[in-house]
Amino acid sequence: MNQHIEAATQHAISNLHEDAHDISLPQDLSEIEAGPVNRLSVSWKAQDELHMGHFLTWTGPADNSHEFRMLQALAHTEIPVPEIITAGTSGHRSVMLGAQVEGDSVASMLESAGMRWEISTIAFAFSRLLARIHSLDWTKVAPWLEDPESIPEDIVDVQVEEAFQWREANADYVPDEWSSFVQKTTAWLDLRRPVEVSLCICHGQFHPRNIFAVDEDITAVVNWQKARVTDASVDLAMLPVWLNEVGLSAEDAELFAQAVNGSYLQSSPRGLGNTPYYSVAIPFDQLLDRLLDSENPPEPEELARLKETVERAMALAGRVPWKNR
């Protein structure tokens, strides 16, 4: 992976300066691989002058046109997004280089929070930002994402049905020892298909690592690769998993999650009634995808972790706070 990140970054700098050479990335690229968003310093020579650039960077699929288009559209809204300086590709990966932003990621702020009131304060800013994103009129901001004339329930129905068709088409190819679990989980999801929906633009990866802030002021939202128009529940469905990745204790994670859900429901007219469905569907599809990956076979520990996430989401589905309007 590191060689693709380095090559993509060099490609990005070449796009910035056609005659760039002696491109150097002084930091350990394993840091870029470990996290979705990082700060990166790059030096290069062009026209006999030494240049140094300091960027906010994140990796994604080779085709980053969707994210470029989203960032261009969002730049005309009140949602803070980074200015994209340049981008580069190598193999199946791309690297986006954006202008530096103030502050730290919400993930870093949670890791360093010493008081529980700090966790609550961060949660309120985090949730209010999400409510602002969900309040955008997607038919004006990003009308290409779905047919503006379609009924909201029809849009989500099509998305859900396509997901079930994908699961059914691939169920026979999973290892035999996983067949029973796949069938059981698919049946569980089938009984909980979304009925009433709250359609809006969803970020798709509203991970604390993708949100930057100074105190209570959000300065940037990055990593819009999976943005789409869908049910609002999608953006908070994986929050417990992401908080575990950040390293919060169970008590602090519970405090943050409750504050986020409560503040969001006070700030937004959107409903979160489909959280149980998406909190299972998203990690389950990730598990299936990894089971089917013959080019990069998963480690048993990764599969066990994803299975545990799915099982825990099913067990706690009834405890997730929501409301519908």
Determine the length of the chain: 325
Find the domain containing 117 and state its range: 104-319
Q: What is the DSSP letter of 278?
A: H
Residue 50: inside a domain: yes
- Map residue 210 onto helix, strand or coil: helix
What was the pLDDT predicted at 310?
97
Among the candidates 73, 99, 125, a domain finishes at 99
Q: Are 79 and 113 in a shared domain?
A: no
Is the sign of the CA dihedral 150, 154, 160, 166 positive or negative? negative
Q: Are 125 and 157 in a shared domain?
A: yes
Residue 325: inside a domain: no
Residue 178: inside a domain: yes
Residue at 195: amino acid letter: V
Domains: count for the chain: 2
**What CATH number should be reported for the domain holding residue 13?**
3.30.200
pLDDT tens, the chain, 325 aa long: 566 667 777 888 888 888 888 888 766 665 554 456 878 888 888 888 898 888 888 877 878 889 999 999 999 999 999 988 877 787 777 878 888 899 999 999 999 998 999 999 999 999 999 999 999 999 999 999 999 999 999 999 999 999 999 999 999 999 999 999 999 999 999 999 999 999 999 999 999 999 999 988 999 999 999 999 999 999 999 999 999 999 899 999 999 999 999 999 999 999 999 999 999 999 999 999 999 998 889 999 999 999 999 999 999 886 655 444 3
Q: Are 160 and 48 in a shared domain?
A: no
In sequence order, what E strands does the chain have?
Answer: 21-24, 37-46, 49-61, 84-90, 93-99, 104-105, 199-202, 211-214, 217-221, 228-231
Among the candidates 99, 134, 156, a domain finishes at 99
Residue corresponding to tokens 């949670």: 110
Q: Are 75 and 202 in a shared domain?
A: no
Residue 53: inside a domain: yes
What was the pLDDT predicted at 325?
38
Q: Are 45 and 132 in a shared domain?
A: no
